[in-house]
Amino acid sequence: MSDRIKILLSPFFIFCLVLLIVNDFILKATFHNVLTGKLSDFCGLFIFPIFWSAVFPKQKLWVFILSGILFIFWKSEFASGFIELLNTIFSIQRTVDPTDLIALPILLLGWFHIKGDPNISLSNSLITRLSALFIGAVTIFSFCATSQQRYVQGFDQPEYVLLRSAATPDTTLNYDFNFYKKDSLLVIKVNQVYIAKPVKDDDYNKNRSIKELDKDVLAQIADSASLIPPGKVTTLSISTVQGKDSLRFNGGRLDGRFSRTKNGKLLIEGFYKMGLEDSTWTIKDSSSNKVVIQTFVNGERTSVKQFDHEKLISANRINTRADTIGNKYIQIGILILFVVGIIVLLVRNYRSTFPEQLIFKRVWKWLFCFLSPFFVWLLHAGIRILLMDFRPDFFETLATIMFIFMATCPLMFVVVFWIKLRKEIDIFLYCLLFGLLCSLWTTCGTLIELSN
């Protein structure tokens, strides 16, 4: 086997690859601190030139040199135009942070790693070659997943901020905001904001993303505007395409009664408390007699009622973040009970048939060990759907399949070749057991993220 394949299967390369994926999909979302941000840079900059050196073994030096140059360019403002061009085709996220350049010395470690002897003994078997191809596919996936798309936070109710400004910013430079000039004041209607991937798309997450919305908007428009200190009450009205909005601000945030009228008809009426919806909101359909009444507590919807000619059509209770956390504890308890039940069934099957076992050819045993993780993933996905916790994200789905394969494939080898299968039903029970354990693991992770 060639040295380039040995490099891809070296323990240090695989360790950095797994650490990069775990950091991007789990650690960043859980902790979201400087360490997790820098960890991706160090791991990515280590495996990136090594992988491409395996693809172009005669150009190793140039691969490392260009990797360093590309990293510096990517982390600079000069790459902004290129990234905007790519975003017309793909969704790419990049953070400009000069301190990320401290990861550059890791290139030397990668260079010494490929120049030295990998010190691993590998056969030239088909399994080894397939393993190298699998690691290569996972590596390419990690490069793509590191720059996942940004997520958009929209608003059901109008969201405004108020700033002081002598001029109106150029509206052609920003399509997320609408600007309305009122003497020395600038009213900004925020249509959407970009956020990190939320653990749950709910009002709690929205409230957290707009906690300092006036400061975030000021930083984005890069204008001579300034903040209005809290305590300064401003009342004004603006005309929009949707209607005439009556606004009350405390400092730069909406605070107090909000109303929208059009052609003399009241369309929306509600209250804000420092930018968050509060109390009862009434939304009327301009073309019919339908009315929607929403109730908010601390900015989170608790109920939605729909009326037609004062007749109640529907009434829905909405879970707050606290309700969702409570439900997760219940789901974890149910999953644990199922796991214990399946283990009891497997132990009973083992004892009732010992020392007998299922007899089938070795090739079928190997095939089962390699294919069963995909059935485990299907069961895991079905359980997540039942728990209403399935998010059809492409990168997350691929990462989940890879994690389940790496975790359950070795376990299936232990089951088949050491513990041994006793009954035909054991095949399904083991897949279901591992599917439940994967769902229990992800549900616990979701609970931790929700609690944070």
Q: What is the pLDDT of residues 344-366, one digit of tens each?
A: 999 998 888 888 877 878 888 88
d(CA 80, CA 86): 10
Tell me the mean pLDDT in the region 407-412.
Answer: 90
The alpha carbon of residue 264 and the mean position of all alpha carbons in its chain are separated, in whole angstroms, by: 44
d(CA 186, CA 275): 16
According to the model, what pLDDT value does residue 1 have?
A: 45
Q: Which pair of tokens denotes residue 14? A: 């695989």
DSSP class of residue 415 equals: I
CB 253 within 8 A of CB 214: yes
According to the model, what pLDDT value does residue 452 have?
A: 78
State the average pLDDT for the chain.
84
Of 62-76, 132-146, 330-344, the range with the highest mean pLDDT is: 330-344
According to the model, what pLDDT value does residue 96 have?
A: 63
CB 102 within 8 A of CB 79: no
Name the more confident of 88 and 427.
427
Q: Which pair of tokens denotes residue 303? A: 């109920």
Checking if the pLDDT of 222 tops 70, the result is no
Tell me the mean pLDDT in the region 195-210.
Answer: 86
Name the more confident of 319 and 169.
319
The pTM of this model reads 0.68
Confidence of residue 173 (pLDDT cuts 50, 70, 90): low
- Per the listing, tokens 């088949």 go with 416
According to the model, what pLDDT value does residue 33 have?
A: 66
Tell me the mean pLDDT in the region 213-224.
Answer: 83
Tell me the mean pLDDT in the region 417-432.
Answer: 87
